[in-house]
Amino acid sequence: MKDISLKSKTGFLLFCLLLLAIISRIPLLYPDRMILDGDEALMGLMSIHQIELGEIPWYFWGQQYGFTLIEVSSISVFHLLLGYNDLAVKLGMMLIWLLALTGAFLFLKEKLGRQWAFVVVLLFVLHPVWFYWSLKARGGYLTALMLSSWLFYFASIHRRIPAVSQGLIQGIGLAVIFHSMKLWFPSSVVLVFGLLWPMRKKWTLGASMLVSGILSHIALHQISLQNPDYWNPHVVDIDLLWHNLISMRERLRHMFEGNYFLGDFYPIFNWTFIAWEVVKYAFLVSLAFSLLQFRENLRSVEFWALTLATAIPLGVMLISPMFFSPRYLLPFPLFLFMWCAWQWKNFRYTRLLRIIWIPMALAIYAGAWQLTQTDYYKREAEEKIIRNDAAHLLIEKDYTYVLCNVAELHWQLMYYSGGKLVCTGIYPHDRLQELASSVRQAYWDGEKVIAVSSDNQEYRHMQDSMIQVGGLWMLPKPRLEDLEKMGFEMRVMY
């Protein structure tokens, strides 16, 4: 890393890359586009608990997977600087995103040279495929991206790192990746082994890596068992193999168009579709190049490791249940971009490539920018105002306990109130059980509790006693029969 100061060509290219990465995400930081969905608000609330209660946010609440310590701690840094607001959450994610890009750039610089590294990572940055998720506080995705990028870099400079130290770095890093995002783990292991294959002292390296990896995994597993197993969805369905096989192309298109959020798909736009076409044809040309260079690559362990690492993430499409979200494929794009660059690096007509990559970059970023014009953002802009207003109104009226029959609304109200509200959903169990139980116990103890709904059409007989805030309806002093009609289960669980 001795040549990455701004005075060096490598350092200057890295600076330009990170600057462009920040500029490209400015449209996502507009105040009317930053509303946090329920899971993001939950991550923000975890940060508030870390700051105010000293909790260590090892894992996403209610799960025994999804290592969140790095992401929540990054949010906490910006919370301390900017206060409790959604900009702090997004900037916390941006910091991890920039660190991930730095690791990827340094790795590709070692293997392809700094110019190729700049082009490949910039195309990855500008493409719609990671545009939305690069700033999304979800738990695990950005952590896995960042750690894998840096592990690849450290593996690529194995001659400069002692075998024991290299083993410790890789073992601990891979264990954290496994607990952050299991889908990322197989590809990372394969590529790390391919990059380390030429290294001397393989037995020392292997022993250090194995011991540190196993011990780290055991420690993290034991920590994860302290979390309740509230959310553990069914993610494999072998019976759908044929259906999944014929759906692969459509799923890949949805992925690379980037027009998905939390499983919701939005209409195809001209530029997002072009962004998908650019990747598709770049892959086909790269495939042709790889066949032309087959003899040269035949004995390259690194090439076959990267090829296998690129193919592995596609396997999730073959075994997924009927509900498939493109975010399950998030490990795939970076490996694909790197694999394509690996084939293009020996292309003779490099001047042609210097001309091609610029229109490619402009075309794919046009697709990313077009994502900000979707109905999703228009709806979210309205919802952010409503949720902010609702949280402030509840605080002004001296409420602490809130019942919500809108999915994920309780996390948003708690975060936008700065942690002052205690909210829960319709069920007596939740990711953080103490919240669900405390609200219900407060109701049975006769304390001041309010119920919030998204629509009052089913409760017209209560309309006169409801308070409206945008599309939300609030019922002060709800009777038990009213709550039951609104879908609430009021038993208390501990």
Q: Report DSSP letters for 259-321, one per residue.
A: -BSSS-B----HHHHHHHHHHHHHHHHHHHHHHHTHHHHHT-HHHHHHHHHHHGGGGHHHH--
The tokens for 399 are 């409420």
Q: Which of 488, 464, 148, 441 is nearest to 313 (CA)?
A: 148
Residue pLDDT, tens place only, 53-105: 999 999 999 999 999 999 999 999 999 999 999 999 999 999 999 999 999 99
pLDDT at residue 350 is higher than 70: no
pLDDT surpasses 70 at 439: yes
Domain coordinates in residue numbering, the chain: 9-373, 382-485
Contact in structure between 260 and 266 (CB atoms under 8 Å): yes
What local confidence, expressed as pLDDT, does residue 178 receive? 97
Evaluate if residue 417 carries a pLDDT over 90: yes
Which is more confident, 475 or 219? 219
- Condensed to tens digits (0 to 9), the pLDDT of residues 134-145 reads 999 987 899 999
Q: pLDDT tens-digit profile of 192-245? A: 999 999 888 889 999 999 999 999 999 999 999 999 989 887 777 787 888 888
Q: What is the pLDDT of residue 339?
A: 95
Burial class of residue 347 (count of CB atoms within 10 Å of its CB; 0-12, 13-18, 19+): middle
Can you give the pTM of this predicted structure? 0.94
**What distance in Å separates the CA atoms of residue 473 and residue 37, rounded to the nearest whole number?**
19
Give the angle 132-134-135 at the CA atoms, nearest 5°: 80
Is pLDDT above 90 for 13?
A: yes
Distance (Å, rounded) from C-alpha 421 to C-alpha 151?
Answer: 41
Q: Over the range 107-128, which residues count as b (16 or more CB within 10 Å of their CB) and which as e?
A: bbbbbbebebbbbbbbbbbbbb
Does residue 2 have a pLDDT over 60?
no
Residue % of the chain over a pLDDT of 70: 92
Predicted confidence at residue 352, as pLDDT, reads 67
Give dist(CA 248, CA 353) in Å, integer.
30
Measured between alpha carbons, how far is residue 22 from residues 31, 64, 115, 262, 479 in Å? 16, 33, 20, 23, 51
pLDDT of res. 486: 86
Give the pLDDT confidence of 358-414 residue by residue, as tens digits: 899 999 999 999 888 877 766 776 777 888 889 999 999 999 999 999 888 999 999
Q: With bands split at pLDDT 50, 70 and 90, how would you rate the model's confidence at 328?
A: confident
Pick 325 or 81 by higher pLDDT: 81
Instruction: Please state, for a pLDDT cut of 90, what percent of the chain lies above it.
Output: 62
- pLDDT reading at 422 higher than 90: yes
Region 449-469: mean pLDDT is: 76
pLDDT at position 457 is: 59
Residue 7 has pLDDT above 60, yes or no: no
Please, what is the average pLDDT of the chain?
A: 89
What is the largest distance, in Å, between two alpha-carbon atoms of the chain? Answer: 79
Q: Strand order of the sheet with strand 467-469?
A: 422-424, 401-404, 449-453, 472-476, 467-469
- For 131-176, what is each residue's pLDDT tens digit? 989 999 987 899 999 999 999 999 999 889 999 999 999 999 999 9
In this predicted structure, what is the pLDDT of residue 351?
67
pLDDT band, residue 5 (cuts 50/70/90):
low
Residue 461 has pLDDT above 70, yes or no: no
Residue 20 neighbours by CB distance under 10 Å: 18
pLDDT grade for 3, boundaries at 50, 70 and 90: low
pLDDT band at 1 (very low <50, low <70, confident <90, very high): low
> b/e for 305-339, b at 16 or more Cβ within 10 A?
bbbbbbebbeebbbebeeebbbbbbbbbbbbbbbb
